[in-house]
Amino acid sequence: MPGAGASHAAAANAGPLDGIRILEVGTMLAGPYATMMLADLGAEVTKLEPLDGEISRQVGDSYFASLNRGKRSICLDLTSADGQSTLGELVAQSHALLVNLKPSAVRRLGLTYEALRQWNERIVCVAITGFGLDAGDDPAFDYVIQAATGVAALTGDPAGPPTLPGYSSADNSTGLTAALGLLAQIVSGRGGQVEVSLSEVMLSQLNYHASAYLNEGKQPLRRPFGAHAYYVPAQIFPTAEGYLALFITHDGFWKTFAAEADIDGFATMAERAAHRDELLAIVLGALSSDTAAGWESRLRPLGIPAAAVRTLPEALAATPRAVVIVGDYRLVGSPIRIAGFEPDYGPPPRLGEHGA
């Protein structure tokens, strides 16, 4: 009975979110990234797109694919009566709706729980905004949020200007947080409104910096080579060739590293922190005796957290299992690995492909 066997195989590979139906009114990155993570885990995600398509389609095919694999697409004019009627029908059959638009648009298009509960009392409505649903429409793009929340001020060389990370950290982090909030409310069995703002997510990610300031009055400092505020040595170091990230967090790591690098003293965390500049100069001198790749090959077998700084192409080449084939695209797959489950990565949808 090959049919039964195929059905059993499909059931065995069903994702943990199989049967969960999610609607997305997403733009660019934060919202689409959140729902893609859920689609990778088996949720049925349907993008509700304007007639001319979600704006990230204009950025490029590979960009769109990186955030929208495995989804469905329906074109819907949410400003029309017919569009609102169709939205209600979809909501009645769904578990959640996730939107990332400015607050006035979320309300104008009827994408809140208060507007949609008439169709489904248990619908979970997640709104990703810049500063909160009640905080107005101030522009809130990723780089602006990094600047506004202190992230940029903490990044880069202290002798130079504030620096932005080389990727969309605020959007990606907010997407993951929104997915968590969505699932938490579904698990509760209750419908309701969930809010996640880019600004609060990034302040949350500055957790120990914020705690040190709020409780001890310690001003956060931008340190050379991205040095950690508490652990020493924990930063990037130049070597004889290339750069090495070294992260010594406790005395056991230090003892092993110091023996390999032929360094004496500084046995305790407190001692290393108190003599930061002196110690960093000694470590820098020791590391100059070998290349970054050489130190990595020496320190990793000893259990020391260390890595040569690689480019993204080098990192992808070193981690082939992270790359998956999705239709015509090679993409980085889901970072969530669940025993017995392999994501079924579907291609990104064509505009309006599932409208029928």
**pLDDT tens profile 104-133:** 999 999 999 999 999 999 999 999 999 999
Smallest Cα–Cα separation from 243: which of 299, 308, 296? 308
My answer on whether 268 and 150 are in the same domain is no
Residue 16: count of CB within 10 angstroms of its CB: 13
Write out pLDDT tens, residues 234-279: 999 999 999 999 999 999 999 999 999 999 999 999 999 999 999 9
Beta-strand pair 192-197/124-129: parallel
In whole angstroms, what is the distance from residue 232 CA to residue 279 CA? 8
My answer on whether 38 and 73 are in the same domain is yes
My answer on whether 198 and 230 are in the same domain is no
Residue 214, classified by CB atoms within 10 Å of its CB into exposed (0-12), middle (13-18) or buried (19+), is: exposed
Residue numbers of the domain that contains 55: 12-205
Residue with tokens 């208060």: 114
Structure tokens at 301: 């077998």
Global pTM? 0.91
**Number of domain units in the chain:** 2
Residue 278 identity (one-letter amino acid) = E
Least confident of 11-20, 153-162, 236-245: 11-20
Q: Could you tell me the CATH number of the domain that includes residue 231?
A: 3.30.1540.10
My answer on whether 175 and 230 are in the same domain is no
Which residues are paired to 193 by β-bridges?
125
In whole angstroms, what is the distance from residue 326 CA to residue 122 CA? 33
